A and B are shown apart, each in its own frame.
Chain A
């Protein structure tokens, strides 16, 4: 290594950066786990590549998926990323809980540094590469369909957002195979993450993965906001939009304003680490309190970024499965907007313990409680939606009911944490961990899974298996209570979060209980996979090509399942909210249009994958100080953007005859299908045509 060429090419890389080499030198359980994790990434990566090659699917993958600008395909890809990352982060959660359960009065089997990597990746992944891509995927897929548009406002930008997210996720995965991840937690507080205390590659992995995700989300926010403001079909006034679209709009606005603080926080931390600036260092006037403010100015709105779309999902689910109009549409919209605005006024409650004056703490504490009001109102809106309805306990509905009852408990502990004097006792303890899981698991994850079950038939044209869906749902609920209720007790007993080994034997029973819960949550995920497998095998029996399996209300249910690439053969004209639901009852919603027209759609473009791969390479280069790679990646990104601006042949036409052929074959299927009553909507009799009582 004395040769100067290698350090220039490989930067900070040494053989010891590989977990396999470390495990070879030092075969402890801890190192073997790390090597196994790296091995799984490598082997499954190779397996996917081999599989695609054997099945000769490369061309198909490239033209149908990777270069596609179709908002529906981009949405699906987002959710695929989210599910893969969910699997990893869940396993990590189990490892942590197992370690804590085992390590009472002894060091356990996961070393402290490794444990710290686990909680850092778990948090970063769940927020930036599970919740965010999942909801972004749903928004991508559903919003254009719900507002009667053919695509989002900026499809190329949309694809670039996807690919930046993918690059960030890839960096997270790379950290398993090469080097180590940050030990600074998902919030990456300096000065712990500064070069003086953490000179390794870990914090750099965190900085660049998060920055990629942050940039991608900013662009998604812009895209979705413009789509909703400017691309609605004729008659789709703002107050006629489905609630999911409303919450997507609020989330988009939050992304536009809340992601820049994160970008600034990570960029300034990077300047400290790479160029020796003094923003957050201990020395020469740096101050980590600036970071805390910047990070939580993002961090708190982020909570609502991931929860608001779920509120939209619950609104759709509860209303659909109660066969009833949403109660208090206007107050729900107002409550959503109120939450979005208030979410920017409470960030300081993440550090009541930083020593500011009591008056400041009190102001932010009261603001924090105030945000509970519109949130509480929403719960009652859903309750009154079920009132005088016809409630069916399908999987998405069970998620929604479980959410309402569990989320309220999280809200209670949230009010407790909003009291600064009470926060002083339980801040940074497992009580806090229990609280935010109590908000995010029912509030976001249940919502995402309800959406997955609810819209899966729309996206793929067949329903998911109901039995396995319920098993999985039950496991998510039971597992949650078992895993997190003990943490409230442990937190109130003064057990700090992020603890690798425990000295107090009194904690042991609660830790066992939490580990049991974590295992059940893992089973819930396994059941989800089984459900997918079973459903794919029985897809013929569960076919809902006609496209309306649940007697849906919004426009996405008025097209075939899966929808044609142009979404609507003729753009709809709506004259009221939930137009489709009423159209089914009052006039013929499946009547063909008078005439078909040519439809212009965007051609595929390789610019997004190129930018995604180049940005992944550039940030990897930055992490490892392989400057040539970083510069090369940046040049490729720049060249790709400029080259794209010179492409003039961007559209292709789908001739009217082709549109007519696709549309008519669907209308024929609609005419053939048997309308199905709500009682048997989960049986194979459901072909996607709803029986309506007028």
Chain B
């Protein structure tokens, strides 16, 4: 029974981790996972001594063991003091250098090095769905982000409602999307596939359904996808905008064509204008 449960955990568990950064599919997530492993290895040297010493010393100096010296009034030693202050300071200093470097390298605002110009996608966080606008192609989607494999993607994010946070575990980290402001995220996919994206910042009753898929496809397929969307997408008009602003969960991806230019900027400032119109 116990072994069965363990097996179940093992199988299911590995499945779970496949959804995360461990199963990275792009350069950003790969670098993050590498950094993760480096930090984890360093930290073994931080935790190891404590995990060993606590049980060893507690057990060895137990009351029953009368063989060893009992020094009730001993309470200080300069060499020990140096031993407990200096190594942690050194480790933190070393990690600090690593941290500073990694933070700049993996800054979500930093464009990925590439010969191709990045694909510009604008993201608007709505209740409880994601709107992706492809400004150069005049199309937009809800809950599906198609990207060509190998080409960097540059996201600009804002929110048409409360603050949300966009996370694509296998491709990139996360960044907040806030009304009236623009944040950015750079990433790329280096193998075709469908990757899970989600909002991680609670925003109401439909939060748990606010997932989207990142579909990474070879360039040719991606271009085909674009023409398909331009052809079969519903024209984006005021009614569409109005219905998108409603609180709702999108059961399946939606596609729009003829997206008016400046839609992203318009939605970024939407709340401001709304209130000013009232006054």
Stretch from B51-59, B215-223, B237-245, B255-263 that touches the partner: B51-59
- Report the nearest B residue to A369, measured CB to CB: B92
Contact A425 B17 (CB under 8 A): no
A452 at the B interface (CB under 8 A):
no
Q: Closest Cβ of chain A: how far from B82's Cβ, in Å?
A: 11
* B191-214 interface bits toward A, Cβ cutoff 8 Å, 1 = contact, 0 = none: 000001011111111111101000
Within 8 A of A (CB), among B3-19: 8-9, 12-13, 15-19
Q: Closest Cβ of chain B: how far from A400's Cβ, in Å?
A: 9
Contact A369 B96 (CB under 8 A): yes
Once the chains are docked, how many angstroms separate the CA of A498 from the CA of B201?
Answer: 8
Contact B18 A506 (CB under 8 A): yes
Q: Closest Cβ of chain A: how far from B155's Cβ, in Å?
A: 12
Q: Closest Cβ of chain B: how far from A183's Cβ, in Å?
A: 7
Give the residue of B12, B47, B161, B180 whose beta carbon is less than 8 angstroms from that of A510. Answer: B12
Report the interface size for chain B: residues with CB under 8 A from the other chain. Answer: 99
Give the residue of A191, A284, A401, A499 whose beta carbon is less than 8 angstroms from that of B58. Answer: A401
Which residues of the partner chain A approach B36 to less than 8 Å between Cβ atoms?
416, 422, 425
Stretch from B111-119, B135-143, B163-171 that touches the partner: B163-171
- Report the nearest A residue to B76, measured CB to CB: A328
B173 at the A interface (CB under 8 A):
yes
B232 at the A interface (CB under 8 A):
no
Which residues of the partner chain A approach B17 to less than 8 Å between Cβ atoms?
489, 492-493
Known contacts A427-B165, A493-B20: A420-B103 contact under CB 8 Å: yes
Contact A427 B200 (CB under 8 A): yes
Give the residue of A288, A387, A495 whose beta carbon is less than 8 angstroms from that of B61. Answer: A387
Contact B178 A288 (CB under 8 A): yes
* A376-410 interface bits toward B, Cβ cutoff 8 Å, 1 = contact, 0 = none: 11011101111111111100000001001100110
Which residues of the partner chain B approach A506 to less than 8 Å between Cβ atoms?
12, 15-16, 18-19
Which residues of the partner chain B approach A373 to less than 8 Å between Cβ atoms?
85, 88-89, 92
Contact A362 B99 (CB under 8 A): yes
Known contacts A358-B103, A427-B174: A503-B163 contact under CB 8 Å: no
A502 at the B interface (CB under 8 A):
yes
Which residues of the partner chain B approach A331 to less than 8 Å between Cβ atoms?
81, 84-85
* A178-200 interface bits toward B, Cβ cutoff 8 Å, 1 = contact, 0 = none: 00000111000101100001000
Contact A389 B85 (CB under 8 A): no
Contact A322 B179 (CB under 8 A): no
Task: Give chain A's interface residues, CB within 8 Å of chain B.
Answer: 111-113, 116, 183-185, 189, 191-192, 197, 282-284, 287-289, 322-331, 351, 353-355, 357-359, 361-362, 365-366, 369-370, 372-373, 376-377, 379-381, 383-393, 401, 404-405, 408-409, 411-412, 415-416, 418-425, 427-429, 489-490, 492-510, 513, 678-679
Task: Give chain B's interface residues, CB within 8 Å of chain A.
Answer: 8-9, 12-13, 15-22, 29, 31-32, 35-36, 39-40, 43, 46-47, 50-51, 53-55, 57-59, 61-63, 68-76, 80-81, 84-85, 88-89, 92, 95-96, 99-100, 102-110, 161-163, 165, 167, 169-170, 172-176, 178-181, 183-184, 196, 198-209, 211, 271-272, 274-276
Q: List 8 A-B contacts (CB under 8 A).
A: A283-B276, A288-B163, A365-B103, A388-B68, A389-B70, A425-B169, A493-B18, A501-B209
